[in-house]
Amino acid sequence: MAVMTATAPPEHVSFGTRVHRFADKWLLPIYVAGVTLYLILPVAVMILFSFNDPAGRSNLQWGEFSIAAWLDPLGRPGLPEAVRNSLVVAFVATIFATILGTLIALALVRYDFRGRGTTNILIFLPMSTPEIVLGASLLTTFIASVDLPFIPDGLVYPLSIVTIILAHIMFCISFVVVTVKARLQGFPRHLEEAAMDLGANEWTTFWKVTFPLILPGIAAAGLLAFSLSIDDYVITSFTAGQTQTFPLYIYGSQLRGIPVQVNVVGTIIFVVAVGFVLLTTLWQRRVAGQDYRASTAA
C-alpha cells in the first residue's frame, strides 16, 4: 500500500536576504583578493618585463620573450657599481641600526630612567617626518659638520657613501625600535627569573634565555631595515653626492630608457626579500609554539 507523504513547500527567500547571504559569504574574500591583486600587479609586471626583449632602448613596451637579461643581469654600464653600493649601504645600515635599535628597545621596555618619555617621542620623529625634510636636514648637517673642529678631516666627506650609511642608520633605527619593542611587550619574564634562580648571572640569562626568545623580532626588524634602506631614494638623493645607488641609477636611466636588467635585479631583490620574510614568519610561529609550551609547563 503506497503511503503518500506531504512535502513542505519551498521556502521563499527574498532578494534582500539573498544579497545579504552572498555578501556575508563572499564579500570579504573578494575584497581581499582585489586588494592583493592591486598590490601584486606592479610586481608581476616587473617580473614579466624582466623576460622582455624590447625593440628599442626602453623596456616600457613588450617586444618578445627572452632570457638574455637573466643571463647577464649586470650587463649595463654603471649598474654593477650601483647595485654594489646599495647592498653595502643596506647591509652596514641594517647591522648598526639593528644593534642600536635593539639596545634602545631593551632600555625603553626594561628600565625606568629620566628622559624615557622624551626618548620615546624622539624615536618616532624620523618615522613621522617627511623624507624630503629629513633629506634636506641631513644635507645641511653633513655639509656644516665638515668645518666642525671635533670631527677628524676626511672622516665625513661632504657627500659620499659614508653619509648615505649614516643617514640610513638614522631613519632605520626607529623602525627597529618599534618592532623589537612589540616583541618585548609580551616577553615571559618568569623564564628569566627561573634561569637566575638556577644560578645563571644576568649575562648568561640574556644570551641563553632572552636573546633566543627575542631573536625572531630582531630578525624581523633587520629585514624591515634592510628593505627600507635598499630602496630609499629621497634621503639618498640628498646625501649621496657622486655616489650612485640602485634607486638613483633607475631614476637616472629613465631619461635614456630603463634597461631590462633593472627589472631582473628588482625581481631578484623581491624574491630574496619575500623568501626571508617567509622564513622569518615560520621561525616566529615555531618560537611562539615553544613559548606557549614553556609557559604551559611552567
Q: Which domains does the chain have, with CATH numbers?
A: 78-258 (1.10.3720.10)
Length of the chain: 298
What per-residue confidence (pLDDT) applies to 1? 46
Q: Is the dihedral of CA 122, 221, 218, 92 positive or negative?
A: negative
Q: How far apart are CA 198 and CA 203, in angstroms?
A: 14
What is the residue whose three cell numbers read 611587550? 185
Q: CB–CB of 159/142 below 8 Å?
A: yes
Q: What are residue 52's DSSP bridge partners? A: 65
Q: In the chain, what's the furthest Cα-to-Cα distance?
A: 113
Distance separating alpha carbons of residues 209 and 290, to the nearest angstrom: 12
Q: Mean pLDDT, to the nearest integer, of 203-228? A: 86
Instruction: Determine the average pLDDT of the residues in 127-143.
Output: 88
User: How far apart, in whole angstroms, are the C-alpha atoms of residue 73 and residue 271?
Assistant: 15
Between 91 and 66, the more confident residue is 91
Closest by Cα among 156, 182, 174 to 229: 174
What's the CA gap between 298 and 291, in Å, rounded? 10
The stretches of 50-160 forming alpha helices (DSSP H) are: 68-71, 79-110, 116-128, 131-145
Res. 61 pLDDT band, cuts 50 70 90: confident
- What angle, rounded to 10 degrees, do the helices at 260-297 and 79-110 form? 20
Q: CA triplet 200, 201, 202: central angle to 5 degrees?
A: 125
Kindly state the percentage of the chain with pLDDT values over 90. 26
CA 253 from centroid of its chain's CA atoms:
25
Report the pLDDT averaged over residues 65-76: 87
